[in-house]
Amino acid sequence: MSESIIELNDIWISYPEETKQPLKNLFHRHRERFWAIKGVNFEVKKGEVLGIIGRNGSGKSTLLKLLSGLISPDKGDFLLNNNERPVLLSLGAGFQPELSGIENIYLNALLLGHKKKDVDKSLDNIIEFSELGDFIYKPVRTYSSGMRSRLAFSTAISLDPEILLIDEVLGVGDSAFQKKCREAITQKIKENRTVILVTHSSSLVKSICDRVVWIHLGEQKAVGDASEIVPQYDAFMKGN
């Protein structure tokens, strides 16, 4: 059995939430905690494709932030059992609109933990994969959302991460680029890379994932094989 490279043990994550409480004919603001993740437990094994599935508002975005290292849990243990942190494939988080596409490639890669020499080696591949042509030299503020997603995906996938964390990125852009993204992800899977896909799309999970973690309202409803969990999720969604 493959080793566990990521472990989440009884993870709780909260955000401050302001509410108005009556005080004699007046109102005062009272700060409470909103628990976005409540007691989640699962592991990620080396070389597997794990899906994290749930409807909008289920806590997927909070788990994304935890797995990519942007936040820490309030309670519980988040363990990385090697030196590799998941590389987030998202829609260009960290892009600076006034910088050119090339400048943002270097910036985004550094934010993902890569060295400049790694980017130098991969730059031609990144530009070719993005299909942005001369727009690569223009400010990102002139890009459409689809062009930004091309640049973000091309940067992350071309730097060959050991652990891919995918945030719905396969559902954006034109159909030809979506197909290209899927093929690139499939190639990484064949190379025994670890992939974590965070999505609400059961069809996407069923097509590429080995196991699934189902999150609902911050709680973990089920963990298991995709063939077992996805039909349960689909039936639940149809009834709600």
Q: Which pairing describes strands 75-80 and 49-53: parallel, antiparallel, or unpaired?
A: unpaired
Q: Which of 65-69, 84-88, 207-211 comes out lowest in average pLDDT? A: 84-88
Mean pLDDT, all residues of the chain: 85
Residue 61's pLDDT band, with cuts at 50, 70 and 90, is: confident
Q: How far apart are CA 96 and CA 139, in angstroms?
A: 9
Residue with more model confidence, 10 or 92: 10
At 36 the pLDDT is 94
At 221 the pLDDT is 95
Q: What is the pTM of this model?
A: 0.78
At 99 the pLDDT is 94
What does DSSP assign to residue 100? B
- pLDDT one-digit tens code per residue, 130-177: 999 999 999 999 998 788 888 888 888 887 778 888 876 555 566 787
At 92 the pLDDT is 52
Nearest partner of 143 among 161, 130, 129, judged by Cα: 130
Q: How far apart are CA 37 and CA 216, in angstroms?
A: 9
List the Cα angle 140/142/147 in 5-degree steps: 65
The mean per-residue pLDDT over the stretch 57-73 comes to 88
Considering Cα of 98, then 103, then 109, then 113, what sign does the dihedral take?
Answer: negative
Residue 115's pLDDT band, with cuts at 50, 70 and 90, is: confident
- pLDDT one-digit tens code per residue, 6-38: 999 999 999 887 555 565 556 556 667 899 999
List the Cα angle 183/82/15 in 5-degree steps: 85
- pLDDT one-digit tens code per residue, 190-203: 888 888 988 888 88
| Sequence-separated (6 or more) residues with CB below 8 Å from residue 109 | 118, 119, 155, 159
At 40 the pLDDT is 96
At 44 the pLDDT is 93
| Sequence-separated (6 or more) residues with CB below 8 Å from residue 63 | 37, 40, 52, 198, 215
| Sequence-separated (6 or more) residues with CB below 8 Å from residue 218 | 35, 36, 37, 38, 40, 58, 59, 62
The mean per-residue pLDDT over the stretch 29-56 comes to 89
